[in-house]
Structure 1
């Protein structure tokens, strides 16, 4: 059974990301502060929750959370600073945007950079251990999936509505056939031999989310 918190006595947020291993699209992070006694039978690591239940949980979390925030860091920023730093940056953006300042941060995984003077704890597979991290994983996953389904309409040949930008055989085959798009991460190994060639039928790479090459989206309690 997932714990409500790490037994920290003060206000605690959980944070997680989605999309680290993808060849295309942004990395998306979320931060969530849950009520002290919040529980839900469906809430768990987003990777083991069905798509239908993730969408149910998304609405519940958005309604019940004391605060939540979702941030996107796009593929250009990922290429500039690497995926680990981009993931941590997205988490920091989320915490920045919380209207309630947390006094403790629970982070999924084993790597994080200190955020201001707030103590934090990294937890390997934390999205399967703590409800606030699990809630963050649900929001990060659902918001990123919705975004990938949207840009699929621009480039349906990559089937992002299905693979969400992950390195499936189908996705790699499409890169080999059509080249790269403005959403692909050029610092990643897109094909067995690194693809440096110009895009094929796809558009040339240009910034897509924001002129500063990243965007933040914050969603407060309704």
Structure 2
């Protein structure tokens, strides 16, 4: 597979962008824990060896690449939306909130965003370029992908020390068998998303399920793509 390039960043700079940030999220499909967004700004220098979509790397290799990115990238920051915010706002708005927090935490304000995927969950006032599989093709997005994944995995491992039955250190809050079994036996922790459909399959706990928020898209109710 080809390594990510600066093709998109260079095109945007040629069109007038001054500071371009790659943005990617992790934790969207998890049952527990926050959704985390990383924003990364590069200086168009040669990226660390092995940089690519975090999902294509082993856990050990991700940590190695993330350490190299940390000392190489011009600037980066994280933002998160917690389960309560996801339940209250819906996933699309929660992603926007997490991204805005990440962008606000950057020491340099970008004027253009390269966002992984085809859905712009940021919107105005940001100038956004959506790139499908941007975490594989764009250096800045790949850097954000690796940083976000390693950061969130560490957060979930920390939660796993408090809630060892759920196996968070291994599954990061995603629906692995040990996680499903713990939910059925012990019910939710304060870090579970309470509006999600999986509660329908847990008879002892489904009464705790919260109504799911329908997001507003262009002024109309739409599908929450989370």
Question: Which sits farther off after the overlay, 114-123 or 76-85?
Answer: 114-123
Q: Residue deviations 1:3-24, cap 9 Å, x none?
A: 1251221321100011000000
Over the aligned positions, Cα root-mean-square deviation in angstroms equals 1.8
Find the partner of 1:119 among 106, 118, 127: 127
Provide the rounded CA distance (Å) in 2 between the counterparts of 1:146 and 1:113: 25
Report Cα offsets for 1:127-146 as digits up to 9, x if no partner.
01101001001111011000
1:62 counterpart (54, 64, 70)? 70
* Partner in structure 1 of residue 29 of structure 2: 21
Structure 1 portions without partners, runs of 5+: 199-222
Deviation at 1:117, TM superposition (A): 3.5
Name the one with the larger helix percent: 2
Q: TM-score of the superposition, structure 2-length normalised?
A: 0.82
Larger RCO: 1 or 2 (CA < 8 Å, sep 6+)? 1
Q: Where does residue 163 of structure 2 map in the other structure?
A: 155
Q: Is the 8 A contact 1:42 1:57 kept in 2?
A: yes
**Structure 2 unmatched runs, 5+:** 209-226
**Equivalent position of 1:186 in the other structure:** 194
Contact 1:92 1:115 in 2 (8 A): no
Aligned to 2:206: 196
Contact 1:2/1:130 (8 A) holds in 2: yes
Q: How does 1:102-141 map to 2 (within 5 A)?
A: 102-114=110-122, 116-141=124-149
Q: List structure 1 runs of 4+ shifted beyond 6 angstroms.
A: none
